[in-house]
């Protein structure tokens, strides 16, 4: 299976030796869930895409420090590519920014969260179990790092996971598009680094976010969900 990673941001160059870049994080995480996957990388900030939508069996859109509602040509172009993916029926997963971009591109709404920053380990309740969610969990924990949230889902979306802090934390559209707000690809060292780097921006969210890093996450299980979804639930 060939998975196209649509890279919407980079780890700052001076820190890549320490943490790697986002595609490497996903390859490490998803590769442990499926050792037969092949990955291709497309830097969408530089407006690089496969020549045809069907060049890959599935796609994953990464996170980004940008907001999906920013007035930037590359974000508009990525939204159009998502609509092409939807029309072509190619399975695609969006993580954080990617989750929000899918929602916005297909008729939903993304806004700065009234509850502020979501950082550290967060927990979401599974409100609609799916066949590809193996192992099944009633709730799951992931590292989070976001200021924006999906405020309104697209009309065709089905809610999968929710919390009081982030009501639209995961959704599916026509069993082809999956959005997940949390970060299964992050490790705690990188999450702690981001917390300290953004301490002034985070304000009161910093201390509880840092303290939450003592909690375990379900990143391995969610990686298996993502691969199960991209494979069509097999």
The structure tokens listed for 182 are 């949390």
Active-site pick, 56, 96, 122, 146: 96
Q: Which residues of 63-100 are buried (b: 16+ CB within 10 A; e: fewer)?
A: bbebbbeeeeebbeebbebbeebbeeebbbbbbbbbbb
Q: Active-site residue among 24, 146, 183, 192?
A: 183
Catalytic residue among 56, 122, 146, 185: 185
Of 193, 159, 166, 164, nearest to 181 by C-alpha is 166
Question: Is-catalytic flag, 128?
Answer: no
Longest CA–CA span in the chain (Å) reads 46
**Residue 176: other Cβ atoms inside 10 A:** 17
Is 196 a residue of the active site? no
- CB-side exposure of 38: number of CA atoms within 13 Å? 5
Positions annotated as catalytic residues are: 96, 183, 185
């Amino acid at each position: 299976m060939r998975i196209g990673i649509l890279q919407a941001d980079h780890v700052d160059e001076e820190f890549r030796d320490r943490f790697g870049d986002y595609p490497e994080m996903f390859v490490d995480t998803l590769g442990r869930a499926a050792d037969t996957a092949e990955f291709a990388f497309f830097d969408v900030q530089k407006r690089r895409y496969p020549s045809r939508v069907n060049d890959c069996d599935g796609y994953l859109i990464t996170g980004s420090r940008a907001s999906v509602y920013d007035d930037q040509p590359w974000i508009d172009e990525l939204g159009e590519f998502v609509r092409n993916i939807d029309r072509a029926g190619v399975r695609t997963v969006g993580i954080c920014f990617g989750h929000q971009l899918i929602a916005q591109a297909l008729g939903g709404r993304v806004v700065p969260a009234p509850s502020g920053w979501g950082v550290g380990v967060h927990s979401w309740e599974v409100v609609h179990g799916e066949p590809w969610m193996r192992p099944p969990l009633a709730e799951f924990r992931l590292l989070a790092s976001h200021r924006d949230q999906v405020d309104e889902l697209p009309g065709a979306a089905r809610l999968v996971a929710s919390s009081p802090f982030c009501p639209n934390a995961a959704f599916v559209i026509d069993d082809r598009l999956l959005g997940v707000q949390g970060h299964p690809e992050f490790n705690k060292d990188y999450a702690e680094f981001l917390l300290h780097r953004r301490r002034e921006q985070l304000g009161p969210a910093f201390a509880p976010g840092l303290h939450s890093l003592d909690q375990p996450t379900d990143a391995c299980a969610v990686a298996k969900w993502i691969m199960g979804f991209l494979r069509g639930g097999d």
